[in-house]
Amino acid sequence: MNPMSYTPDDLQRFLDIASEAVSAGGAVLQHYWGNLSDIRSKGRPGDLVTEADKAAEKEVLAVLRRHVPTHAILAEESGSLGEPTGGLLWAVDPLDGTTNYTHQYPFCGCSVGLLIEGKPAVGAIFDPARNHLFRAAKGLGATCNREPISVSDTATLANSLLVTGFGYDRRETIDNNYAEFCHLTHLSQGVRRGGAASIDLAYVACGWLDGYWERGLSPWDLAAGVVLVEEAGGQVTAYDQSPFVVESGRILATNGKIQAELSEVLVSVKPLARFIPD
């Protein structure tokens, strides 16, 4: 069963549920903003969890269980919940950008996406710092605060503004994105490091950024944002322009116009030597 096996009414219902869920989670994030008392490491440097993550996820899951109690959920803090029914799996990131959030750096979000047979079909992302609600579903378009959005018209890599990120394992692996970051900084107008994949993708969908690539991501980082980019007229693939697979953790998302050019660079750059701190 593919996403289009569900009717527009089905997808609209799922979108409304996702929007309610991220709004509930986002309200929790706003409540805890600047008032955290429990910040812990999950093991790797920079991989943090707070009481806000847990409280926001609790609210998101409550909304999903109220509306779709039989659906399976994959949540960052709670893990896998339930068995997939009808190929449906909700991917939940209650706080994407926890490190930013703990420092009150306003680039983070609550993200809920729906995968149908492994393909992103519905997504909602709430930015608690700017009160932006991003929404999209297959065939229904993409919006920010209920207003239609679309990707940029930037036609060349040289004129583009890009964004990327670095995995938590960047200190241990040679596949760490450093070389790509340096190389593309020279080829474009600039490369930003946002620190929240869902917001990076939302900004590409809005046309505020022209392209985004990253590795080492989880389904909850990507599920909602992928739908936004595609429904806003952009393109999402693997680095080599083969079909995007959410489980791969790798993504290339652009306005479509720079997809081939950015892909060519990503597959040709040789990695830097492994970084081993003193």
Distance in angstroms (rounded) separating the CA atoms of residues 71 and 186: 46
Total-model pTM: 0.93
Q: Give residue 32's identity as a one-letter amino acid code.
A: Y
- Please state which of the four CATH numbers 3.20.20.70, 3.20.20.20, 1.10.10.10, 3.40.190.80 is assigned to the domain occupying 157-268: 3.40.190.80
What's the whole-number average pLDDT of the chain?
A: 92
Q: What percent of the chain shows pLDDT beyond 90? A: 82
Nearest CA-CA partner of 15 in 105, 118, 146: 146
Q: Is the pLDDT of residue 278 over 80?
A: no
- pLDDT band at residue 40, thresholds of 50, 70 and 90? confident
pLDDT tens digits, 156-181: 999 999 999 987 665 566 678 888 99
147: Cβ–Cβ under 8 A, 6 or more apart, which residues? none
Domain coordinates of the chain in residue numbers?
3-148, 157-268
* Domain at 3-148, CATH class: alpha beta
**How buried is 85 (Cβ within 10 angstroms: 0-12 exposed, 13-18 middle, 19+ buried)?**
exposed
Domains 3-148 and 157-268 share a fold: no
Distance in angstroms (rounded) separating the CA atoms of residues 273 and 182: 13
